[in-house]
Structure 1
Amino acid sequence: MKRSVAKGLNIYFILLYFVLLILTATTAMFFASGNNTEGIISACLVVVTAIAAFYVIMVLRTTVSERILWNAVQIGTIHEQYMNQWDYPYAILTLERTVLWYNQEFKKLFADVDDLEEKSIEELLGGIKLQKDGRELEEKEITYNGRYYFLRLNRVQIEDDEQAEEKDGLDEHVKQFYTISLIDITREVELEQENLDRQTVVALIYIDNYDLVFSSMEEGRRPLLEAMIYRRLNDMAAELGGILTRLEKDRFFLIFPHKALLKIEEGKFKILEEVRKLNIGNKLPVTLSIGVGIDEKLEQSQEYARAAVDLALGRGGDQAVIKNEERYIFYGGRTSGVEKNTRVRARLIAYALKELIVESDRVFIMGHKNPDLDCFGSALGIYRGVTALNKPAHIIMGGPHPAVMDLYRRVVEERDYADIIIDEEQALDYTDENTLLILVDVNRPSICESSRLVEIIKNVAVIDHHRTSVENVGKAVVSYVEPYASSASEMVTEVLQYLTERIKLKPVEADGLFAGIALDTKNFTIKTGVRTFEAAAFLRRNGADSIRVRKMFKNDMEEYKAKAQIVASAKIVYDTMAIAEWVSGMDNANAVAAQAADELLDIAGIRASFVLTKTPEQVNISARSLGDINVQLIMEKLSGGGHLTVAGAQLKGVSLEEATAKLREAIEEFTRGSDRE
């Protein structure tokens, strides 16, 4: 600044000197036009005037310069004193983030540091990382010495006049430094936390299998078990400082202060395990589904709690779900669902579905992308049920997939199935206000054959056996999601028996449903219950042939070699899990990978298997387990899903090595049990 002021003064006084000199010379020339005496006098006058003017200008220049510079120094001193009086820490930093100047409050904040100058601000703040991308402003909340501060880092630019003139004002000659201020917001944070702690949290607690548990034990012991369950729940409510109310025989309502939520989260909802361990003669363990809602408004908290408990039930029960405005948090869910022996719900769903079909003008049936036999088989079953009610129906499928090619050929060769399979564009042409969409073997819009149709069509029904994820068809008019069921084909077979009287399946439809059950149960060895065999028996009576079904699972030589290659390349991790990588060029890569994952489970000691398949578009992961490891929870960490024994995920924009690293990280989190699930 001093250099700029001095330069301006020099230019000013030089111009003033030349103006006076020119005026004096002009006057002298006027007098010189007379005679020599006057000329000599004029010349002397010019010299004296020039000397006098130079002396006056120099004295004036010194006085003015000193006054201006003194004022500038005074202003700078006042400004510095003013910044020292600020009641919050303030400092000026170099481009390297080292301290250049600081006020008194900044010095007090770091009183234990001897020399603050040239110290890195990040080191002073305990390793807090600040911006590195040259942004002009960064604001963030930090903690230091147990207090909260609002940090404001500002980049300042000052153009150097001399350099700008000499270098034509190029950007590299712009001086930069940073200013940093730290506002103490500890009181505000404490008040905000105090307000949050006082909020009321709503929880809904359901006993998943109340009727099954109590019907499996002696009548005299039932009141004792019921009292023990209520005692455990009451103890939890007292520990949380809340109030527990019984709504129905198997449903409870709990409210407690938000500050107690951390306590129950740290214990990972140990009430789930405590109730599950109760045994006084009951043949089945008691499991709970808990939904917790958090919001400033009490009524909204109740809505969140209801949505959370519905999600917990849709994921198989025996877990807790916390929902707030931003996200869901899951605890538990590591056990398999318990099969219900009663078909009451299947009958009720059939009646509700029948009403929807009868009231609709047209019905679309759709599964997930890259359909398998369970998806296509259950779609054929629903098609038969809709046509039995004399309503037009179409199956939406983009094209024949290798996994269902044999069944697909049989369908298109049947005369009665002409034009029943359409694509998305054809379906959009037929869609109107009175169209019904039935989703089978899928409850996530993003992986449906056409997510666009899910958005457009108002009336949607869902029949699925996969655990419900956060992303689901929330607007479904009828939702039949049973994670304990072996397959969607089993569920559809049961619904068909109540949809119309004496329904008659065609052999291709019966084969498709039977193949779907066989696929998802690994030929009736995994997740197979009484109702699974009852459904298979019904299909056999309606023309299903096990020999024809077995032909659908046959592989050619190339597929067989590929499976052998995958199994041979597998690596064992955590002693009980197998991971295999495969770069595929085959059309039915996913089906081959899934079969290889199944075969890896046949190896002694392997409890879970993961096969990663690299395709041009993405990396697909097929996950399988024998039931004691919930592969769905692992796949959900990779934005996938499925159910306890069969799950999968798709990773886009990553290499095979990166996908394997992400999978190992997800497995490690699950194995440690350090996460919330």
Structure 2
Amino acid sequence: MINKYTNERTVIGELEIDNFQQYVVILPEEDVFAIQSKMLDILDELVEKYNIVYRQYVNGKYIIITNQETLTHFEKTSFKFFDKFRKANIVEGISLSASMGIGAGTSSNATLLKLAKRGLLEAQSRGGDQISVSYDTNKPVYYGSISEITRTLSKVKIKQIARTLANKLDSPQIKNVVIFGHKEADLDAVGAALITLGITQTYKVNTYIQNLTFDSTAQAVVDTLSDEYKSLFISPGKARKFISKKDTLAIIVDTSNEDEIETLGIFKHPDKENIFIFDHHRIESLSHNISKSNTYIDSSASSTSEIMSEVAQFMPKRVNLSKEIAQMGLNGIFLDTQQFHKAVSSRTFMASA
């Protein structure tokens, strides 16, 4: 009886075609329709075989309702039905993939939906092409991740967050910016922070960098910085005074983990809309209710310095980086690509140019 009850417990999933909004921008309508149709065919086949219902609530996004028995079967087979979508040769040069978050293990539908939505975001932030299964009391389990989300040259998301950041920097309500790297900052964290500084200074906003601990390589390079930049590195205590006020923008680079930041309580900022995160590392979770529009995490990027170089290119105002900052950014890319031998794409070289 208990086993039957467990098997029949509701499970909710949220599924999204990776990069779908970019496809809408760059592909002909018939190709976008073909991509959607392929996903619908796969879901319809699942409906016929298993105890599943689904609804497409936005183009490229689907809510799926099933039960624990079906989820257990999918977990045992590692969600093999996703392979049909990956192998679909619809548009030449584009490898299709999808990400999914699944909530299970509780009788609360609201909690299940929350787990599913959070799981989808985490699956996408870890690189996409995977499924995150979250039981109410356990850490998520991930399936898939055969390929990274395709990086398109449209750079739609970079443009969007560049506009969002520009609007904040243009706002008369923003008086200060504090940029945060991670503890024992490496060359990428330092390079990304300095490129971000170049961006904020273009908008003439008073800016500081909160980082006092560096690895040996980064420390040696930071020691060579001119006083103009050295003077902008501040202590955690001073940074806390700034971020306790709504008129300060907090920009976190090369990490999204609060425990890796020297300043305690950064996510207690009185206005969550004034926190931005830029990172290229896979993550385990995104918490603190930071706005998705203020978050850019791309694990297929070579480095955070590459990401910030792209953001600088797409700011509405022209960003002219000093030679010193440009060199530090290049150092960051050089380090994280192991001298351009790892995780390099055409965008890496464009960011380095």
Per the TM superposition, whether the score is higher than 0.5 is yes
SS for the counterpart of 2:131 is: strand
Deviations 1:579-628 (A, max 9, x none): xxxxxxxxxxxxxxxxxxxxxxxxxxxxxxxxxxxxxxxxxxxxxxxxxx
Determine if the alignment matches structure 1 residue 492 to structure 2 residue 289.
no
Cα deviation, residue 533, structure 1: 1.9
Determine if the alignment matches structure 1 residue 234 to structure 2 residue 48.
no
Cα deviation, residue 309, structure 1: 0.6
Match of 2:252 among 435, 439, 442: 439
Determine if the alignment matches structure 1 residue 483 to structure 2 residue 294.
no
SS for the counterpart of 1:293 is: strand
CA separation of 1:289/1:460 partners in 2, compared to 1, >3 Å: closer, same or farther?
Answer: same
Determine if the alignment matches structure 1 residue 428 to structure 2 residue 240.
yes
Q: Work out which of the two has the higher radius of gyration on C-alpha atoms and give 1 or 2.
A: 1
Distance in 1 (CA, whole Å) between partners of 2:12 and 2:52 is 10
The corresponding residue for 1:303 is 114
User: Which letter maps to 2:319?
Assistant: I
Cα deviation, residue 367, structure 1: 1.0
Match of 1:469 among 269, 284, 289: 284
> What are the residue-to-residue correspondences of 1:572-587 with 2, within 5 Å?
none
CA separation of 1:347/1:285 partners in 2, compared to 1, >3 Å: closer, same or farther?
Answer: closer
> What are the residue-to-residue correspondences of 1:552-631 with 2, within 5 Å?
none
State the identity %: 24
SS for the counterpart of 1:256 is: strand
Confirm or deny: 8 A CA contact 2:97 2:149 kept in the other structure: no
The corresponding residue for 2:188 is 374
User: Which letter maps to 2:102?
Assistant: V
The corresponding residue for 1:268 is 78
The corresponding residue for 1:199 is 9
Distance in 1 (CA, whole Å) between partners of 2:315 and 2:65 is 42
User: Which letter maps to 2:69?
Assistant: K
SS for the counterpart of 1:503 is: coil
Confirm or deny: 8 A CA contact 2:22 2:156 kept in the other structure: no
The corresponding residue for 2:143 is 331
Confirm or deny: 8 A CA contact 2:258 2:266 kept in the other structure: no
User: Which letter maps to 2:128?
Assistant: G
Confirm or deny: 8 A CA contact 2:187 2:332 kept in the other structure: yes
Deviations 1:280-303 (A, max 9, x none): 563322111011122312232222
Confirm or deny: 8 A CA contact 2:267 2:288 kept in the other structure: no
Distance in 2 (CA, whole Å) between partners of 1:397 and 1:464 is 16
Deviations 1:525-555 (A, max 9, x none): 3222222222122xxxxxxxxxxxxxxxxxx
The corresponding residue for 1:504 is 320
Determine if the alignment matches structure 1 residue 249 to structure 2 residue 62.
no
SS for the counterpart of 1:499 is: coil
> What are the residue-to-residue correspondences of 1:338-353 with 2, within 5 Å?
338-353=150-165
CA separation of 1:297/1:356 partners in 2, compared to 1, >3 Å: closer, same or farther?
Answer: same
User: Which letter maps to 1:351?
Assistant: R
Cα deviation, residue 510, structure 1: 0.5
SS for the counterpart of 1:410 is: coil
Cα deviation, residue 233, structure 1: 2.0
CA separation of 1:451/1:240 partners in 2, compared to 1, >3 Å: closer, same or farther?
Answer: farther
Determine if the alignment matches structure 1 residue 449 to structure 2 residue 262.
yes
User: Which letter maps to 1:428?
Assistant: R
SS for the counterpart of 1:462 is: strand
The corresponding residue for 1:526 is 342
The corresponding residue for 1:410 is 224
Distance in 1 (CA, whole Å) between partners of 2:166 and 2:144 is 36
CA separation of 1:272/1:356 partners in 2, compared to 1, >3 Å: closer, same or farther?
Answer: same
> What are the residue-to-residue correspondences of 1:124-203 with 2, within 5 Å?
190-191=1-2, 193-203=3-13
User: Which letter maps to 1:468?
Assistant: I
SS for the counterpart of 2:314 is: helix
Distance in 2 (CA, whole Å) between partners of 1:281 and 1:480 is 26
Cα deviation, residue 400, structure 1: 4.8
Deviations 1:124-179 (A, max 9, x none): xxxxxxxxxxxxxxxxxxxxxxxxxxxxxxxxxxxxxxxxxxxxxxxxxxxxxxxx
SS for the counterpart of 1:254 is: strand
CA separation of 1:429/1:232 partners in 2, compared to 1, >3 Å: closer, same or farther?
Answer: closer
CA separation of 1:271/1:213 partners in 2, compared to 1, >3 Å: closer, same or farther?
Answer: farther
Distance in 2 (CA, whole Å) between partners of 1:214 and 1:429 is 44
Q: Which runs of 5+ in 2 are unaligned?
A: none
Determine if the alignment matches structure 1 residue 354 to structure 2 residue 162.
no
Distance in 2 (CA, whole Å) between partners of 1:283 and 1:390 is 42
CA separation of 1:487/1:258 partners in 2, compared to 1, >3 Å: closer, same or farther?
Answer: same
Determine if the alignment matches structure 1 residue 386 to structure 2 residue 187.
no
Deviations 1:26-62 (A, max 9, x none): xxxxxxxxxxxxxxxxxxxxxxxxxxxxxxxxxxxxx
Confirm or deny: 8 A CA contact 1:210 1:286 kept in the other structure: no
CA separation of 1:512/1:220 partners in 2, compared to 1, >3 Å: closer, same or farther?
Answer: same
- What's the RMSD between the two structures over aligned residues? 2.5
Distance in 1 (CA, whole Å) between partners of 2:22 and 2:92 is 10
Distance in 2 (CA, whole Å) between partners of 1:519 and 1:442 is 16
The corresponding residue for 1:56 is none
CA separation of 1:248/1:238 partners in 2, compared to 1, >3 Å: closer, same or farther?
Answer: same
> What are the residue-to-residue correspondences of 1:27-38 with 2, within 5 Å?
none
Distance in 2 (CA, whole Å) between partners of 1:218 and 1:392 is 44
Q: Which runs of 5+ in 1 are unaligned?
A: 1-189, 538-677
Distance in 2 (CA, whole Å) between partners of 1:428 and 1:482 is 28
Distance in 2 (CA, whole Å) between partners of 1:400 and 1:446 is 16
Match of 1:513 among 315, 329, 344: 329
CA separation of 1:302/1:453 partners in 2, compared to 1, >3 Å: closer, same or farther?
Answer: closer
Distance in 2 (CA, whole Å) between partners of 1:265 and 1:425 is 47
User: Which letter maps to 1:452?
Assistant: G
Confirm or deny: 8 A CA contact 2:177 2:251 kept in the other structure: yes
Report the number of matched residues. Answer: 344
CA separation of 1:385/1:507 partners in 2, compared to 1, >3 Å: closer, same or farther?
Answer: same
Distance in 1 (CA, whole Å) between partners of 2:161 and 2:31 is 33
Cα deviation, residue 320, structure 1: 0.3
Distance in 2 (CA, whole Å) between partners of 1:262 and 1:289 is 18
Confirm or deny: 8 A CA contact 2:15 2:120 kept in the other structure: yes
TM-score of the two chains, using structure 1 as the length reference: 0.48
